[in-house]
Amino acid sequence: MNRAWFFALLLVLLVLARLCHVGVLWPEETLPLAAAAHLREGRMLYRDIWFDKPPLVAVTCLVWGARTSVALRLAGALYALAACWLAWRFARDAWGEVEGRWAASLLAFFLTFDLHSAVLPLAADLLMLVPHLAAVYLAWRGRAFWSGAVAGVAFLTNAKGLFVLAACSLWVPRALPLLALGFAAPLTLTGAWLAMQDALVPCYEQVWKLGRMYAADTFVENPLRHGLARTLSWLGFHAALAVGALAFWLRGGEHPRSRWVAWAALSLAAAGLGWRFFPRYFFHLLPVATLAGARGLALLGHRLILALALLVLPLARFGPRYAMLARDLLAHRPHDWADVAMDRDSREAAVLVSHLAAPGDSLVVWGYRPELFVYTGLSAASRFLESQPLTGVIADRHLFQSRPTLPAAWTAAHLAELARSRPTFILDGLGPYNPSLAITSYPQLRDWLGPYIEVARSRGTVIYRRRGP
């Protein structure tokens, strides 16, 4: 099969799989999409929009106009194809065409048959995949400055880009100043842009200061045991990569394997940062595992079929869900799937709001439900698109816990700021799940809520509307 047909088939796989999800938004992609929609209105990140991710996470959404549905899923397919092409290029240049095609094929497979909430959203962890691959590839080629620059782009999508920079340094130890200079270039340009917009200090507070608080306060009771279990689970589902990587490290021969081992160790450390070990965090391990796995599979000879048989597990685990989603779409029926229940509720709540809203109406969303801005098309009445900075309780636990992570002084100031806004609608998407964090449970907001009455509700959202002007 010639190269053009090979990549065309990969693209067909990636597109078809992602089009099955045109009726779903996953939590990791909702805040970037909502932020990008407000950027299109002329607002500024961090200054006018509270956003706890690096800037490229939201800005990238503007490439496809912050649209959802088909445009979003096609963008995801093209992004995944770009990652596959980089994996092919790296492996081909390192070893040969066979390894290149294995690398691209394996990456396409595991960007499809894995947890949907991880492989679908073009959010911070997945967005770092392409610059991660590109930066290390450039370092492998000895292009220190450009490797550092691309690692800087990775950092502007995810703070774990520092681990990408560290991996790049393994290949260019004699050019570290040039690598650092390249890394500083995109950061300096971005910092200057933020400073010109009076957004640099808010960016530091929302992304880096809050990020440190988040990383230091895990909800996991036994992080080491939890991390070991999650890592073994990931290796089990990616057993074909693990077997190939083992064959590479045992028989790879012609390359200094110590660098690859060090790259893998750095990637595993990045996956464990914050002691949560969410499945999407393991995207940091995927580039090195894919490349090493591709080389190892090429070395297995007649035992290759045994390694490929290991792909049956993720295929059987995640493949049927695509078929179910496709049937629902063709039959024009909602997805009956617990994983998307909150998204379905947000769509139902947005329909209720649409029957009541008029042009120019505005919205406050309580809870981590930024998709409500996307589905209603209404603008935020304040700079808060979700309630973490208002309650102080991180979204990874606020459905079942009420202990705040953020300092009380922060949340008090933010609540006072919210109370100065005058939204047309308030949508409480947290109270029905955790009544202790309902918007009505905050004494600081009692007077502010006075003019609002409940006008509708869905199973998971209470809709309030302001009386009078």
Number of residues assigned to the chain: 469
Give the pair of three-digit tokens for residue 150. Answer: 């691309």
**SS3 category, 363:** strand
Cβ–Cβ under 8 Å, residues 411 and 389:
yes
Residues 296 and 373 in one domain: no
The answer to whether residue 327 sits within a structural domain is no
The answer to whether residue 355 sits within a structural domain is yes
The answer to whether residue 324 sits within a structural domain is no
Domain endpoint, select from 279, 314, 349:
314
Position 254 scores a pLDDT of 53
420 forms bridges with which residues in the sheet? Answer: none
Residues 310 and 379 in one domain: no
Give the pair of three-digit tokens for residue 207. Answer: 């992304």
Residues 308 and 401 in one domain: no
**Max avg pLDDT among 231-235, 336-340, 379-383:** 379-383
**148-183 pLDDT per residue, tens:** 999 999 999 999 999 999 999 999 999 999 999 999
Residues 61 and 208 in one domain: yes
Residue numbers of the domain that contains 34: 3-314
Question: How far is it, in rounded angstroms, from Cα 101 to Cα 111?
Answer: 15
The answer to whether residue 82 sits within a structural domain is yes
Question: How far is it, in rounded angstroms, from Cα 405 to Cα 71?
Answer: 36
394 forms bridges with which residues in the sheet? Answer: none
Residue 155: how many other CB atoms lie within 10 Å: 24
Give the pair of three-digit tokens for residue 143. Answer: 């292009």
**112-135 pLDDT per residue, tens:** 998 888 888 888 899 999 999 999
Cβ–Cβ under 8 Å, residues 420 and 384:
no
What single-letter DSSP state applies at residue 429? S
The answer to whether residue 11 sits within a structural domain is yes
Return all residues near 237 (Cβ < 8 A) that are at least 6 apart.
Answer: 114, 313, 314, 317
Q: Which residue has the tokens 């505005």?
A: 362
Domain endpoint, select from 280, 296, 314:
314
**289-342 pLDDT per residue, tens:** 999 999 999 998 878 888 889 999 899 989 998 888 888 888 888 888 888 899
Residues 42 and 191 in one domain: yes
Position 279 scores a pLDDT of 83
In the chain, the amino acid numbered 62 is: L
Residues 21 and 134 in one domain: yes
**SS3 category, 365:** strand
Cβ–Cβ under 8 Å, residues 423 and 466:
yes
Cβ–Cβ under 8 Å, residues 244 and 300:
yes
